[in-house]
Amino acid sequence: MTASPDPAQTVQELVASFATWLEVHAAQLEPFREHSTADLEEIVAGERPLRRLLFDGGWTRLGWPEACGGIGGSPVQRAAVLEALAAAGYVIPDVLGSIEIIAPMLIRFAPRLAVIHIPSALAGDEQWCQGFSEPDAGSDLGSLRTRAVAAGDQFRLTGQKMWSSMGHVAQHCCVLARTGDPDSGYRGLTMLWVDMASAGVTVRPTRCESGRAEVAEIFFDDVIVPADGLIGEVGGGWRAVMYLMQFERGAYAWQRQADLHTDLDRLLGRVGGVRDADRVIGDAYLALFALRSKCSETISALAAGRDLGPEISVDKLLLGAAEQTVTDAARTLLWPALELDDDAGALGWRQRWAFARITTIYGGAAEVQRDLVAERLLGLPRSR
């Protein structure tokens, strides 16, 4: 059996080929069996050899266009391979989540940027982030105030973003800015691709409850963005961000459920004599089963080219529930180790538990998502 991907293979055949490849490269993959508890800068640097290995093997190139460094095939194939990576006990590099979210938007709305940047990101040479939320515009992006003013063949960008995941380790940021009138709402937004090394860009890491900086504030002080950094059309930023959100709540959620399944399986080996353990474990597996089932449908729909509507909010709600249920299970089953021990295992679970608290906030707060499900899917009356 071949140990390299062939887009003509079925998903089952690809996963079998990948298993063979994992065996061949077991020695190189061994350092990537555990979540690192280091700072994000060290994690990104430490995972770069794994990203390169998967890229050179062709596995993370599945489902991407050849013009963008891919080898063709379907995103479903790539999703199955990444799940198999986690099931084999290896870490899925966090940065791959950013690629799954942002790259499809570049392919759709800025193909010239996609051809340049996707190959570098897949190979491990670039990191990206999103510049959406602001101090007075979190879930309500229609209120954002970061301003981009057209000036000849460029834009001048001024404003502030916050809660930008991996913002302090990223080389590029897709920034949602206002190009319309101050009261133009969603209609006056434009998406720009910003080089983080540009003059006028200041990044301040934000230390989170997990004990490390997971996100960052980004300040733009009259930053020059060339016209070829435009993603989509001027005033078309809302369309671009809504397209991106489908992948943030679908493809990224698929990666997270794969990683969480492996985490939970490992957790079972450390359980002993905990009261009510069966119920706690059952709740966690049910949360993951629901997330995997919904994300599987979403991945297939996105691969088929469907633009999803408000139903994608269900994926986001299930992801937050699964993240918190699994990490809450760890806290119960490892009691009191998660709170009191200082070994790497306890520290890792403590970090994941703390990070999971924000999973019902980032990418759209759970309360907002429930409103969308109630009003747009269930047809319930607005309460305000």
- Whole-number Å distance between alpha carbons of 340 and 337: 5
pLDDT over 70 at 383, yes or no: no
- Helix 95-109 and helix 40-57, axial crossing angle in degrees, nearest 10: 60
What is the CB neighbour count within 10 angstroms for residue 89? 15
β strands within the chain, DSSP E:
128-131, 147-150, 154-165, 172-178, 189-195, 201-207, 213-226, 230-231
Tell me the CATH number of domain 129-236, given options 3.40.30.10, 2.60.40.10, 3.40.640.10, 2.40.110.10: 2.40.110.10
Contact predicate 257/212, CB 8 Å:
no
Look up tokens 């529930």; give the residue. Answer: 321
**pLDDT, tens only, 39-71:** 999 999 999 999 999 999 999 999 999 999 999
What pLDDT is attached to residue 384?
57
248 a catalytic residue: yes
Contact predicate 217/160, CB 8 Å:
yes
Instruction: Classify residue 382 by burial, with Cβ atoms within 10 Å: 0-12, 13-18, 19+.
Output: exposed
Residues 6+ apart with CB under 8 A from 140: none
What pLDDT is attached to residue 356?
94
Average pLDDT score over the chain:
94
pLDDT over 80 at 316, yes or no: yes
- Whole-number Å distance between alpha carbons of 298 and 287: 17
Residues 6+ apart with CB under 8 A from 231: 105, 106, 109, 110, 113, 174, 191, 192, 193, 237, 240
Q: How confident is the model at residue 73 (pLDDT cuts 50, 70, 90)?
A: very high
β strands within 151-212, DSSP E:
154-165, 172-178, 189-195, 201-207
Full-model pTM: 0.94
Eight-state DSSP code of residue 137: B
How many angstroms separate the Cα of 62 from the Cα of each of 54, 80, 226, 244, 279?
10, 10, 31, 19, 39
- Whole-number Å distance between alpha carbons of 173 and 194: 5
% of the chain with per-residue pLDDT over 70: 98
Closest CA to 205 of 370, 41, 4: 41
pLDDT over 70 at 251, yes or no: yes
- Whole-number Å distance between alpha carbons of 378 and 371: 10
Contact predicate 257/287, CB 8 Å:
no
- Whole-number Å distance between alpha carbons of 55 and 66: 13
Highest mean pLDDT among 136-150, 312-326, 331-345: 312-326
**pLDDT, tens only, 165-199:** 999 999 999 999 999 999 999 999 999 999 999 99
What pLDDT is attached to residue 337?
87
What pLDDT is attached to residue 268?
86
The domains of the chain are located at 11-93, 129-236, 249-377
Mean pLDDT over residues 253-270, rounded?
A: 91
From 47, 134, 248, 323, the catalytic residue: 248
**First and final CA of the chain: distance in angstroms?**
60
270: number of CA atoms within 13 Å, CB side? Answer: 18
What pLDDT is attached to residue 348?
92
Which CATH number does 249-377 carry? Answer: 1.20.140.10
